[in-house]
Amino acid sequence: MDNQDIYTAAEGEEQEELYEQWRIVVDKGQEPLRLDKFLVARIEHATRNKVQKAIETGKVQVNNKGVQSNYKIKPLDEIVVYTDREIQGEEIIPEAMPLNIVYEDDEVMIINKPPGMVVHPGSGNYSGTLINGVAHYLLQKNPDLTEAGLSRFGLVHRIDKNTSGLLVLAKTEQAVTALAKQFFDHTVKRQYQALVWGDMEQDAGTVVAHIGRHKKTRKLFDAYPEGDSGKEAITHYKVLERFGYVTLIECILETGRTHQIRVHMQHIGHPIFNDDTYGGDRIVKGTVYSKYKQFVENCFEICPRQALHAKTIGFKHPVTKADMLFDSELPADMQQVIEKWRTYTKAKKIGYENSIR
C-alpha cells in the first residue's frame, strides 16, 4: 500500500470520485481484532502507521460507516478501503507549464488553477495536468529530488477541469495528513462564486440533498433529497447580484461531494450558467426572441465552461497551526460575462422605463 494509496484527496467541491481499492469480508470464524492490525496483516506492503492515517482520514469504512483504528472487527464485517486514483501506479511525467502560485512554503502550496486544466493524471489525461506542471516546478527548484520525494507531494482536494480557482497542495507527508484531516472534519473554509440561471427566490438559503452516482448515467451525479442514496451534502448560498434571467451567488460548502454545487444548483432549478453536464448550456430562463438567444450564445462563447470559481480557501497551517486564508479574483471569462449581463440588465430596464413614460 503506497503513500499515494493512503493519502487521498479529501472531500471538496468538485472532488474526484474515491475509488474502491480493497473490499474484505471478515471470515465467520474471525476472533475480535483491532481494525488496523487486521488490515496490516491482510494487505501487502501495508504498515500500521499508513493504515491508521487512512482510517483517520475516512478512507476506510466498515459496514458503510467510518470507524476508529481500535474498532474490533467481527465476523462478516465488510471492510472497504478507498483511494483517490482510478488507475494506480501511473508515473507522473514532469512538464514545463505556467503555474499561478499564490503562496508557498516548505509544507504547502496554494495554486490558482485556470479553467480547462485537469488537476491530476488519470484515464484519458496523462499529461498536461496541474500535477505534471508542479512536478516540473519542484524538480527545477531541487534537481536532486527523487521519485520518492515527489511521491510525498499530494493533493488534499480537487476541482473540476472547467472550474477555476484555488487549490491547496501539500509538500510533505505531515502536511498531507494534517490537511486531509481538516477537510474530512469540514473545518476548511471554502467559498465559491457561480453564475446560475434564473432569479433566485431567496437572498440566501441552504440546499440539503444527498449526492450519489446517477442511477442511469454512471459518469454523472444526482441529488437524492430523501437521503436514500448517496452521501449527505449541504450547500449554503447567498445572492450577490441579480440580473433578472441569471443570478451571481456565493456558495459555502458544509460538506464536499463530487460536483456538489453543480448538482445542488440543478436540483433547485438553477443550474450553473453554461454547465454542459447539468443542463446549464441552454437557455433555461428568458425569452425565445432571436436577439436574446444570440445574446446568450455570445455569453457562452465568452465563458465556454461552467461559470464556477473556487474563490476563497482557509485552513490551519499543518505545522505552525496559524490561520491561513487566501482569496482570488474571478477569472477574465467570468468577469466579462457578468459585465455583459449587467449591461444587458441595465439596457433592458432603461428600455422598459422609456416605454411606460
Running DSSP on this structure, what letter comes out for residue 125?
A: B
What whole-number distance in Å separates Cα of residue 221 and Cα of residue 213?
4
> b/e map of 79-88 (b: 16 or more CB within 10 Å)?
bbbbbbbeee
- Residue 326 buriedness (CB in 10 A; 0-12 / 13-18 / 19+): middle
What letter represents residue 237's amino acid? Y
Spatial CB neighbours of 212, under 8 Å, sequence gap ≥ 6: 221, 222, 224, 229, 230, 231
Catalytic residue, chosen from 36, 160, 275, 333, is 160
**269, three cell numbers:** 432549478
* Beta strand segments in 37-133, E: 60-62, 65-66, 72-73, 78-83, 101-104, 108-113
**336, three cell numbers:** 466579462
Other beta carbons less than 10 A from residue 351's beta carbon: 9
**Residue in the block written with cell 478501503:** 81
Residue 273, classed as helix, strand or coil, is coil
Active site residue 160: yes
What whole-number distance in Å separates Cα of residue 176 and Cα of residue 108?
9
| Torsion region of 196: left, alpha or beta (phi above 0 gives left; psi -120 to 50 gives alpha) | beta
β-pair type (164-170, 308-316): parallel
What letter represents residue 329's amino acid? E
Radius of gyration over every alpha carbon of the chain, rounded to an integer in angstroms: 22
Distance of CA 298 to the CA centre of its chain: 28
Task: Give kind and range of the element (H or E) at residue 222.
Answer: strand 221-224
**Greatest CA separation found in the chain?**
87
Q: Mind telling me the catalytic residues?
A: 160
